[in-house]
Chains A and B, each alone.
Chain A
C-alpha cells in the first residue's frame, strides 16, 4: 500500500474543493472496496477524503411521493428501512443479497454504486487489464471469463459491474444526485454507468471530484410487489452470475407496465427495455416472457466460459416475473 493522506470534509462543497485540487485524490465511503484495491496496488490515491460525514445518512419521503436515500446511508440501514421495504422491496432484497453483514454495516450507498469490477485480472496488477492500465490488453477475453459479461462488451473489456443494489435501482428508474466542481446535476441511474467501448478505464460518467449526495426513487406504486432474484455459485457471499430485478403492473391480466433489470451480464446494470417493450400490452404468459427474454438476449456475445449465462438469464427472467404474477408452476 502506498502512503496517502487522509482528510475529513465538513461539507459537500469542501469535499469537492479538496478533490478538485488533487487529481489523484479519491472519496472514501466505507472503504470496503477502495481500501482493498489500495492494498492490492490497483487504486493509488494520494489523498482520501472521507465523505461519510458530509453525505446524508437519512432516508426521507419526497414531495412527489418518491424517496430520497442519502449517499452516506449504510447498506444495512437501507435494507432495514421500513419505507424501502414496503414500497421498493426489490431494493432491500438486492442489498441483502450482496456481500456480508459486516461489509453491509460499513458500506455506503454512494460507495456501493461506484464499486469496481471483480474481474480477477483487474484486481491483479501483475496481469494486463485495459480498465486498470489502458492499452495493456484484456487478459479476460482469452482467460478466466466465466463470471464476466455477455452484453455490451467491447474488444477491450468484458468486465461486469458487480453491484446488486444498482440493478434494483436501475429497474426502479432511480436518479443519482451529484455535486461537483461544475455544480450539481441529476443523472438517471441507467446512465450513471457506461459500456466499456474503447475506454474501459471509465466505469461511469462522473467527472473527477463529482460527489454522489443522494439517490432518488420515483413514486412507483406497483413496485410494492417487486423481487430480486440472484443466482450465484454459492448460496451466500458471492457475486451474481446473473441477477434479475423485476416489478410488474398487471391490469385485467394485461401487462400495463413492467420493469426488468439484469445484473452480472454487463459493464452496467442492464435495463431490459427491449423485453419490457415486448411485454407491455399483452398477458404475462410463460411463452411471451420467454420470447421477450430471448429478444433481450439476442445480441449477447458469450465468451469461452460464460455461454451458460444466456439460458440462465432467460430462465431467470421468465421465472422471476412469473413468480411475481403469482403463476403457479
Chain B
C-alpha cells in the first residue's frame, strides 16, 4: 500500500453538484422524469399484532383512476428470508403500521384516497412493546454479533472486585429514547418492469444492495435490474439497509407492467418503515484510584429489536477502546418486541453508548474532584486496552488539549451552579468522541484513460449529500497524479462496478482505496504493455478493493473532543446552547469544506439529540405518536449557537493510501454528553435520560 501524495486532497472545494441542487436541477429519485407514471400508496395495519381475517378492496378498486390493489392475497411470493422485507406473504401483522397492502392509481391523490378505502379486518392478539420491564419479565437475550467489531460480551479481569475496592466509584443508569432518522428527502422509489427487466430509481445508500435484494426477493438475475441513484437527499443510515417500501414498490410495478410506479413514503410512514435507533437503558460502573486512574469499567446496555429480524444497537462498542483499565466488562442484551425493526443510524452504537460512558466519566471527575479534561488524558492507554494492538494513530489527548485551549477551559471553576447571568445559569462541559476506522468490503472500480489524458472513473458508489462525489474526485486526481479537470467520476448507477454501501464513515476509505489500487494498476499496465503512452483506443482497467495488510497489526480509530456551553433559565428551565466546539483527529482531511460541514452537522444532530429528539411510543397502540416534524422536534436554527469544528494534524500511514479515517459520524459522538455535562455544571442537576427538556430542570417548589 503506497501513500498517495496530496495535491487535490486538502483543497476546500465546494460540492460539484451544489449549484444544481440549489437551482433545483439535481433530480432526486422520485423526480426522475418518466413517461406516464402511476402512483402507489400504502395500506398499513392499524393493529400491533394479529391476523387479517378479511380484506375488502371493492370500494378502493371502484374509484376512477385506480389501476390495481395489492394485498397479501395477490402479492407475489418472495424468495427472501429477511423478516422485515417479507411483506404481504400472509395475513400476519407483526407491528402497527406494517404494510398490508397498496393501491396503484393514475395520480398520487387517487392512490392515497383509495388506500384509505381498503377495509381490513383483523383478529387482534395482545402485543408486547415494553422494553422497560423486559428484564424483569425475562425477555432479554444476547444478540448475534450483527455489528461486531468487538464481541457483544467482553470480560477482562474481575470488575466486581475491582469496583468494590475502588477509591472513587460511579454506578449510574442512563436512558436514550427512540430516534427516527428523518432525512429531508423521504424514502422514494420509481420502479418499472418491462420485458427487458426492472429499472429502479431509488433513494439509497447502496445501489448494489438494492439490486441484490430485489434480485433475491423477486427471483431475478442481478443483471436484469438496473438501479439509479444519482442524488440522495440525506439518509443518516436509514437508506443503508433495504426496507419494505422498496419491496412494495417493486410488487406494485409488477402489477402494471411497462408503467413506472412512483412511491414516496409520507412523513408518518417514515416513523415505522425505515428503521430507527433503538431506545437504550445503559448502566455504567466506573472505579478509579484516588488519582483518577481507572481500575474498572463496566458497561451494560439493553435495547430492543423486532420479532421479524434482529438488529442490535451496539451501544457498548466504543467502551473497550476508550480508556486504560485493568478490569473491563461489557454486556449487551436485546428484547424482541412487537415493533418495527431498528436499523443503523448515524454512529450506531457509539452515539448512544458514548452518551452514557462520557456522562459517567464526568460523574467520576466530579466525585473524584478532578478536572474532566485531565481525567481523560490521565487514562489514555498505550495500546488497545482489549487486544493490546498498537493504535495506527491516536490523538485523543491532543484533541482534548487543543479543544481546551480554543474553548477557554483553563479559567473554568468546576463548582456546579455557581455562575448566573440575567437569570440564566451558565455551565460548560466536555466529552470525548470516537469512531472506528472501518472499511466495508465489496468495491470495484473501472478506470478509463484516453490519449487526451482524460480519466473516467466508474463505480456504483453514492453521494447522499455529504460531498462524496467531490472528495472522491480529489482522491482520484491524486491517485492518478493528474489535475482535477482531467477526472470524471461517475456514481450512482449499478451499470458501473459494484461499490460497498455508504455507511460506517467508510466511503472514502473503501471506495478511495479501491480507486488508488485502480490508479496503480492503470500505471502498471501503461508501463508494462504500452511503454507508458496511452494507446489510441484508450486503456481501461477494473480492480477490486485491495487488502490492507495492517488491519491485523493495528487498532484503527478516529477520536475527538467535544466542548459545550449551556445556559439554563433558573425560573423556567429553558435550555440554550450558545457554544459547541469540537476538535477531531480523523487522519487526512480530503476536503476541509465538506469535512467541516459533516462535523458541524454531526454536532448539531448531537445538540438535537441532547435537547429535542425523542420518538414517543404509545404502548397501548404500539406506535410512535409524534410521527411528524411538528411534534418530533429536530433542533431549529434558533437552537443552534456557534458551532465550530477543528482537526489536529494526523499522519496515519496504515489506514489506507490516503491516510483518511472517516468523519461522517464522529461529530455526533459525545456531543450530547458534553451538553449534559455542561447542564450539570450549570445547575448541579445530572440528567441521565435524554432529551434534556425544561421540565427536568424546572424548579418545582
Taking Cβ atoms with an 8 Å cutoff, the residues of A that contact B are 1-3, 41, 118, 120-121, 123-124, 126-127, 139, 142-144, 146, 231, 233-239, 241, 308, 311-312, 315-316, 318-319, 329
Contacts and interface: CB of A to CB of B under 8 A. Distances in A.
B257 interface: no
B576 A311 contact: no
Interface in B627-654: 627-628, 630-631, 633, 635-639
A308 B698 contact: yes
Interface stretch (B68-76, B499-507, B616-624, B657-665): B616-624
B242 interface: no
B618 A319 contact: no
A127 B636 contact: no
A138 B625 CA distance: 14
B572 A234 contact: no
Contact of B618 (A123, A144, A318): A144
B700 A120 contact: no
A118 B636 contact: no
A329 B423 contact: yes
B639 A235 contact: yes
A144 B576 CA distance: 25
A315 B698 CA distance: 10
Interface of B: 46, 109, 112-113, 116, 422-423, 571-574, 576, 611-612, 616, 618, 620-621, 623, 625-628, 630-631, 633, 635-639, 693-695, 698-701
A3 B623 CA distance: 28
A315 B113 CA distance: 47
B621 A127 contact: yes
A121 B631 CA distance: 12
Contacts of B623: 126
Contacts of B573: 312
Which 9 pairs of residues, A with B, have the shortest CB-CB distance? Answer: A236-B638, A308-B695, A235-B638, A315-B571, A120-B625, A236-B636, A235-B639, A126-B46, A237-B636
A311 B698 contact: yes
B633 A311 contact: no
Contact of B574 (A41, A127, A231, A308): A231
A233 B633 contact: yes
A319 B698 CA distance: 14
Given A143-B620, A234-B611, A316 B116 contact: no
A2 B694 CA distance: 40
B571 A238 contact: no
Nearest to B110: A3
Interface of chain A, main secondary structure: loop
Nearest to B420: A329
A186 to B, nearest CB: 33
A30 to B, nearest CB: 16
Given A144-B616, A234-B639, A312-B572, 20 more contacts: A1-B113, A3-B113, A118-B631, A120-B626, A120-B631, A143-B618, A143-B620, A233-B633, A233-B693, A234-B633, A234-B635, A235-B576, A236-B639, A308-B695, A308-B700, A311-B698, A312-B698, A315-B571, A315-B699, A316-B571
Contact of B572 (A118, A237, A315): A315
27 contacts: A1-B112, A2-B116, A41-B116, A118-B630, A120-B625, A121-B625, A124-B625, A126-B46, A126-B621, A127-B618, A127-B621, A139-B620, A143-B625, A144-B626, A234-B639, A235-B576, A235-B638, A236-B636, A236-B637, A308-B694, A308-B695, A311-B698, A312-B694, A312-B695, A312-B698, A315-B699, A316-B572
Nearest to B573: A312
Contacts of A236: 636-639
Contacts of B611: 234
A139 B612 contact: no
A40 to B, nearest CB: 8
A142 B631 CA distance: 18
Which of A120, A121, A319 has the most chain B CB atoms inside 10 A of its CB? A120
A195 to B, nearest CB: 24
A272 to B, nearest CB: 17
Given A2-B113, A118-B631, A144-B618, A234 B626 contact: no
A115 to B, nearest CB: 12
Nearest to A125: B116
Nearest to A99: B630
Contact of A319 (B571, B620, B621, B694): B571
Contacts of A146: 695
A127 B100 CA distance: 18
Nearest to B108: A1
A238 B636 CA distance: 9
Nearest to A142: B620
A196 B492 CA distance: 55
A118 B698 CA distance: 24
A329 B625 contact: no
B636 A234 contact: yes
A316 B700 CA distance: 13
A235 B636 contact: yes
Nearest to B631: A120
A139 B623 CA distance: 13
Nearest to B611: A234
Contacts of A144: 616, 618, 625-626
Given A1-B109, A139-B618, A315-B572, A231 B633 contact: no
Nearest to B634: A234
Contacts of A241: 694
Nearest to B46: A126
A45 to B, nearest CB: 14
Contacts of B627: 124
Contacts of A318: 571
Contact of B422 (A142, A237, A316, A329): A329
Contacts of B635: 234
Contacts of B633: 233-234, 238
B423 A231 contact: no
A308 B618 CA distance: 20
Contacts of A319: 423, 571-572
Contacts of B46: 126
Contacts of A234: 611-612, 633, 635-636, 638-639
Contacts of B698: 308, 311-312, 315
Given A231-B572, A234-B638, A241-B694, A311 B109 contact: no
Contacts of A238: 633, 636
Contacts of B694: 231, 233, 241, 308, 312
Contacts of B637: 236
A123 B113 CA distance: 17
A139 B626 CA distance: 13
A237 B638 CA distance: 9
A142 B619 CA distance: 10
